[in-house]
């Protein structure tokens, strides 16, 4: 009887609370019915906001296994840090597409904050045809990111778009030097599992920076082209995949006779590109060494020779001998060929000219290394 009376009392209490014209008192039972937390979380003034946080945090619609799978999928799609992946998914109530969009939006901001940090690592990317070659330096902060497949894909894409671009470098045989502004506004069509679609080069670089969590930027680029009677050759050192490396050597070989075969030029040219990487020449010939550089070197060598206490005639001979050594160090044609140090590069070209039956000469050359000249 007591139990029956207690049940009737409880029923009357609930009906009275829900009667028209009365505001229900929010006791524990009422809060439990409507899903409102019995105790307001500290620091949360807005009850609706706190409810949404709790619903996302303790959602029964997305199981723990599903959450792990979503985190894994978004991580694979974006390569973003796992803490950022989880934050975007929670914020978007575990909606994968919305979380990816949110991550990209926030990533742009993060990339902008990192843009002032030193980026001295990265890769050189080379794209070429028989008559033209382009090398682009794409920098990042660490060698770890330089091994990232998205970073490498972007580097390769940049060289290809620079090679296909119509510019003054097509009409000239001189080296064409360009900075990041030359590429930034160009359209680029990306086709990678983690980054795809048509966008501008600048946006693509920003998006990759957001993915890898580092400062990523284009530093510089060079292009070499040759006449119809020549070929462009290249060599990449420390090469993670074709067309990418940390040090690049490029040169053009010109031949006077337009009917001569270019096969012999390609073989020797590839070896010369490797030589350029290894020997680090600064000038093509003696005539192209600036007079200021010669005077500076001569003054240094003369001071060193005079300190020996020998006669003036002996000093002059010592200086001339050391100047010949200087030319062998910095002038490409005067260097000993790295694959056969018994001959100089100019002798190698003379032998090649005899083989093809026409004069062969080097038109231009360049050597690039990732991060050279950057204050670390």
Statement to judge: residues 283 and 200 lie in one domain: yes
Q: Measured between alpha carbons, how far is residue 179 from residues 115, 150, 217, 219, 359 in Å?
A: 17, 22, 11, 6, 35
CB 96 within 8 A of CB 70: yes
Do 160 and 278 fall into the same domain?
yes
pLDDT at residue 78 tops 90: no
Q: 174 and 277 share a domain?
A: yes
Whether residues 79 and 225 share a domain: the answer is: no
Q: Which two tokens stand for residue 9?
A: 């009392």
* Of the candidate ranges 244-253, 266-275, 298-307, the one whose mean pLDDT is the lowest: 298-307
**pLDDT surpassing 60 at residue 76:** yes
Average pLDDT of the residues in 92-102: 87
- Does 15 map to a domain? no
Residues 359 and 283 in one domain: yes
Q: Looking at residue 151, what is its pLDDT?
A: 97
The answer to whether residues 331 and 294 touch, using CB atoms and an 8 Å cutoff, is: no
Question: Does 325 reside within a domain?
Answer: no
What is the rounded average pLDDT of the residues 137-144? 96
Residue 41 inside a domain? The answer is no
- Which whole number is the average pLDDT over 285-305? 92
- Are 105 and 141 members of one domain? no
Rg (CA), the chain: 34
Q: Give the pLDDT of residue 213.
A: 86
Q: Tokens 């050279």, residue? A: 372
pLDDT higher than 50, residue 68: yes
pLDDT at residue 181 greater than cutoff 50: yes
What average pLDDT score do residues 203-227 get?
92
Residue among 152, 375, 161 nearest 244 (CA): 152
Rounded distance, CA 235 to CA 260, Å?
24
Determine, yes or no, domain membership for 278. Answer: yes
% of the chain beyond a pLDDT of 90: 52
pLDDT band of residue 259 (cuts 50, 70, 90) is confident
> Which pLDDT does position 103 carry in this prediction?
79
Which of 157-161, 193-197, 261-265 shows the highest mean pLDDT? 157-161
pLDDT of residue 29: 41
**Looking at residue 30, what is its pLDDT?**
41
Burial of 266 (C-beta count, 10 Å sphere; 0-12/13-18/19+): middle
Q: What integer is the mean pLDDT of 343-358?
A: 94
* Residues 231, 261 within the same domain: yes
Query: Does the pLDDT value for residue 89 go beyond 80?
Result: yes
Are residues 105 and 214 located together in one domain of the fold? no
Predicted local confidence at residue 99, as pLDDT: 87
Domain shared by 141 and 283, yes or no: yes
On whether residue 49 sits in a domain, the answer given is no
Residue 361 has pLDDT above 90, yes or no: yes
- Looking at residues 320-334, what average pLDDT do you find? 94
Average pLDDT, the chain: 83
H, E, C per residue of the chain:
CHHHHHHHHHHHHHHHHCCCCCCCCCCHHHHHHHCCCCCCCCCCCCHHHHHHHHHHHCCCCCCHHHHHHHHHHHHHHHCCCHHHHHHHHHHCCCCHHHHHHHHHHHHHHHHHHHCCCCCCEEEEEEEECCCEEEEEEEEECCHHHHCCHHHHHHHHHHHHHHHHCCCHHHCCCCCEEECCHHHHCCEEEEEECCEEEEEEHHHHHHHHHHHHCCCCEEEEEEEEECCCCEEEEEEEECCCCCCEECEEEEEEEEECCCCCCCHHHHHHHHHHHHHHHHHCCCECCHHHCCHHHHHHHHHHHHHHHHCCCCCHHHHHHHHHHHHHHHHHHHEHHHCEECCEEEEEHHHHHHHHHHHHCCCEEEEEEEEEECCCCCCC
Q: Which residue has the higher pLDDT, 140 or 118?
A: 140
Range of the domain at 90: 64-115
Q: What is the domain count for the chain? A: 2
Segment 224-257, tens digit of pLDDT? 998 778 899 999 999 999 999 999 999 999 998 8
Residue 320 lies in a domain: no
Q: Are residues 105 and 127 in the same domain?
A: no
| pLDDT interval class at 142 (50, 70, 90) | very high
What CATH number should be reported for the domain holding residue 84? 1.10.8.10
Q: What is the pLDDT of residues 9-53, one digit of tens each?
A: 555 654 554 444 444 444 444 444 444 444 444 444 444 444 444
Band (pLDDT 50/70/90 cuts) for residue 260 is: confident
Region 139-157: mean pLDDT is: 96
**pTM: predicted TM-score of the whole model, two decimal places:** 0.71
Same-domain check for residues 85 and 164: no
Q: Is the pLDDT of residue 180 over 90?
A: yes
């Amino acid at each position: 009887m007591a139990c029956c009376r207690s049940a009737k009392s409880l029923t009357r209490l609930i009906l009275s609370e829900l009667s028209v014209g009365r505001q229900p008192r929010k006791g524990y039972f009422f809060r439990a019915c409507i899903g409102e937390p019995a105790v307001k979380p500290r620091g949360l003034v807005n009850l609706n906001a706190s409810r949404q946080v709790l619903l996302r945090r303790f959602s029964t619609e997305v199981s723990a296994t599903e959450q792990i799978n979503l985190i894994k999928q978004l991580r694979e799609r974006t390569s973003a840090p796992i803490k950022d992946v989880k934050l975007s998914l929670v914020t978007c109530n575990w909606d994968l597409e919305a979380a990816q969009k949110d991550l990209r939006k926030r990533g742009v901001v993060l990339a902008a904050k990192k843009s002032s940090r030193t980026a001295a690592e990265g890769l050189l990317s080379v794209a070429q045809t028989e008559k033209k070659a382009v090398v682009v330096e794409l920098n990042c902060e660490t060698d770890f990111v330089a091994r990232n497949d998205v970073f490498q894909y972007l580097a390769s894409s940049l060289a290809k778009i620079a090679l296909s671009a119509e510019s003054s470098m097509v009409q000239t045989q001189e080296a064409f030097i360009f900075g990041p502004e030359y590429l930034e506004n160009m359209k680029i069509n990306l086709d990678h599992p983690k980054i795809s679609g048509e966008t501008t080069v600048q946006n693509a670089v920003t998006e990759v920076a957001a993915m890898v969590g580092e400062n990523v930027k284009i530093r510089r680029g060079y292009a070499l082209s040759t006449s119809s009677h020549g070929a462009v050759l290249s060599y990449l050192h420390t090469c993670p995949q074709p067309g990418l490396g940390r040090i690049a050597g490029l040169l053009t070989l010109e031949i006077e006779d337009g009917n001569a075969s270019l096969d012999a030029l390609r073989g020797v040219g590839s070896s010369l590109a490797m030589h350029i990487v290894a020997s680090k020449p600064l000038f093509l010939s003696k005539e192209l060494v600036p007079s200021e550089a010669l005077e500076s070197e001569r003054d240094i060598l003369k001071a060193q020779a005079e300190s020996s206490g020998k006669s003036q005639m002996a000093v002059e001979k010592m200086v001339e001998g050391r100047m010949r050594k200087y030319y062998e160090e910095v002038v490409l044609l005067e260097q000993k060929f790295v694959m056969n140090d018994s001959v100089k590069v100019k002798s190698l070209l003379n032998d090649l000219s005899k083989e093809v039956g026409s004069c062969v000469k080097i038109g231009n050359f360049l050597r690039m290394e990732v991060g050279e000249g950057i204050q670390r």
